[in-house]
Structures are given as structure tokens and as C-alpha cells.
Amino acid sequence: MQRKAILIYNARILTPDGWMEAGSLLIADGRIQSIQTGEAPADDLTQRIDAKGRYLLPGFIDVHVHGGGGYDVMTGDIDHLIGMCKFHAAHGTTSLLATTLTATHDEIIHALAGAAEAMKLEREPDGALLLGVHLEGPFLNPVRCGAQNPADLRDPSIEEFDAFWNASQGTIKLMTIAPELNEAEAVIRHAVQQGVTVSLGHTDADLETMQRAVAWGATQVTHLFNGMRPLHHREPGAAGSALMLDELATEMICDGIHVHPDLVKWVFRVKPEEKVVLITDCMCAAGCPDGEYVLGKLPVIMKNGKVYLKQDGGGEGSLAGSSLTMLEALANSVTFTGKSVAEIIPALTINPAKQLGIDHLKGSIEAGKDADFILLDDEWKLCQTFVRGVKVFEREGESL
């Protein structure tokens, strides 16, 4: 059913050319029709909404998220996927990739099939849009497994990738793989041919191997500095390679836990600005009370927002994802770097859109693109989230 056109006016709109004061956005059929200063002309059938001077920004695109709000991608349960998308929409995310974990073949197949079915549901947007799947694991190096279950790690194979591809009904958009593993080259080349963006992660690769992987078609690095061979002055490792090779976009978790704040600032300085992609790597416990949870099959503890593997004796194991939201990632990055919101926003919007090849539809406020945006107040707190022109979240007491 065709929806009524919407005119949002009196907004401070962040466009690719900078801020537009007292701007208006005309939306029809889920797309942005026009952007201009002042109140754009509209017919009597158009719904008019006064933004009351709020900031209007493109919605966030999270390409690495395992869950949130108590919901978990690996259940393969459609209700979990919908719940996760609603949770993240309440924190500014308008699109995301359901991210898997290393598990048995059948467990991954089940999760992929569930995501594919969720994507086929025909309904009005009610949360962040599920863009597809990020296949993180099982083709990872045990030496750098982090919170990925080492018992289920294995070498890549085209046969298993194809089984995953078929179960996902072609919805795998991003895959993390360790390029030093046996048959990694064949699988990377094969995935790229299928249109999958390949990210290098949970890897012990050296510079030479990382360079070869770029030649095979890899274009991204998974959660920079975490789960990879660190920088060394005699061998740059995977982390150093990610910084040195401009062909590689770098995911980064800006919670102040996974990466030191000063290092975040340095990455924004040394990487090309279009090659920084902020993610949450969020797991099910985000938005929930501190306590014990499960990541895949591994017991984890969340305490004061920090999530780590539970060890015998009560010690802290490896970090196990995060409880971060994209809105917090934006605020943290502004604080860590001293940059403005406008300078950081591309790392949460247009940069991930480019990595997925959807920047013609998403990632910025431009005519012809999907009407995915958020409205923030003067304190940069979220008021509303819109997905394809539909309001999917509204903070209590903030009705327009």
C-alpha cells in the first residue's frame, strides 16, 4: 500500500556538503524526494512534521552485530532477529548485518536460514533493516580466536562456503576469514565472485599474506587490533598491515575498552577518511543488566558494560564482543578524537554503505536514497529513528 508523503521541516540536516540550517526533507514511497532550505512545497495530502530545530543525520549502518537487548543471532529465531533490530533502532541504527559466530556446521546453517527467512517477511519497518549476514567464522585462526569457540574452528572450503551461501539464500554480504589458512585464497576469490565483501580477521597473518589477500579481493579488516597479530617494528603483522594498506577499510570498536582512546584518534588520522568503519560487535547482553550470559556456547560475564569470557576461578578471559551501541560509538569517537560529529558520521554511515556496495541507496541524506535517518536534540540524544520513511522509534515525550 502506498504511504502518504511526509514533509519534515525546520531541521538542521547533515548533508554530504555539510549542515543545512532550517532544512526540509520531502519523503515519498520510502525515499528522499528533495532536500532544501525552508519549508518545501507540498500538497494537501502530505503529512507535515516540524522537527523543531533538531539535528537530522543519516541512520547508522552496523555491519558487525551479534545481538542486543537479550536477543541473539545464533538462535536462528525470527523473533530474536526482529527484537535485535528493534533494540538497535532505539539507538540510532537503521540497517545492520546479522553476524554469526563460529559453531558447528549445522548450527551456522540454522542461523543463516533463520536470517534469510526474516529478510523475506513483508511488513512495514518496525526496527533497523536487516540487510543480510556477516559470516564471522568458522574460517578463523585458533591462535587468534578470541571469544570464537576454538573447538569449532576449521580450514576454509568452497564446499562449506557454498552450503552456507545456499542456506542464507544468497544473503551473506560480508565474511571474516583468516587469509593464512589452507584454501583461504580459493574461498576468498570464490566469495568475491559471489559479491561478498571479504574482511580479514581473527588472523595471525604477516604483511606479505595480508598483501596477497588484498590481491585476492579482500577489502576490509575485522575489528582492528582485536583478534589479530599485533604491530611489531620488524614485522607489521595484521594490525600494521591494516593501517598501511589503503585498500583495506578497518572496522573499529570505539567503546574505550577494545581500543585505547588515543589509538582511536591515531587511526582516524592515519587511515583515509573513507576507510574507517565503526561497528558495535554487540552481543545479546547489550541493554541488559550485568551478569552471566552465553556467547555461542561459551559462558561470558558482563560487568560495567565490559563483556569477557568467564574463566575458572573467576578471572577475566578474552573480550567477548561488546555492549556498545552505535550512538555511543559516535559520542565516544567525538570525545576520543576531538573531531566534530560531521567528521565522524561517515564512519557510521556512508563508509559501511560503500563497503557493502549500497551507497547508492543508503549512508547519506540525498535525494533518491532511502529515507533512513535519525533526529537528535541539542544534547545529541536520540529523539526519533526513521527507516524508509517510517518512524520505528520515538523517545518517550519526544513526539513530533
Q: Which of 62, 72, 152, 281 is labelled catalytic?
A: 281
Angle between helices 78-89 and 105-120 (to 10 degrees): 60
Cα(347)–Cα(281) distance, integer angstroms:
15
Strand pairing category for 316-319 and 306-310: antiparallel
In the chain, helix, strand, coil percent, each to 5? 30, 30, 40
Catalytic annotation present for 281: yes
Question: Which residues have a Cβ under 8 Å from the Cβ of 296 and sit 6 or more positions away?
Answer: 74, 101, 102, 103, 147, 148, 149
Euclidean distance between the first and the last CA atom of the chain, given in angstroms as a whole number: 24
Query: Is residue 266 a contact partner of residue 338, using CB atoms and an 8 Å limit?
Result: no
Query: Is residue 222 a contact partner of residue 230, using CB atoms and an 8 Å limit?
Result: no
Q: Which residue has the cell 569470557?
A: 309
Query: Is residue 319 a contact partner of residue 258, using CB atoms and an 8 Å limit?
Result: yes
Cα(266)–Cα(268) distance, integer angstroms:
5
Cα(73)–Cα(75) distance, integer angstroms:
6
| SS3 (DSSP) at 88 | helix
Q: Which three cell numbers stand for residue 134?
A: 556477516
Strand pairing category for 67-68 and 71-72: antiparallel
Cα within 13 Å of Cα(138), Cβ side: 23
Question: Which residues have a Cβ under 8 Å from the Cβ of 264 and sit 6 or more positions away?
Answer: 252, 254, 332, 333, 336, 337
Active site residues: 281
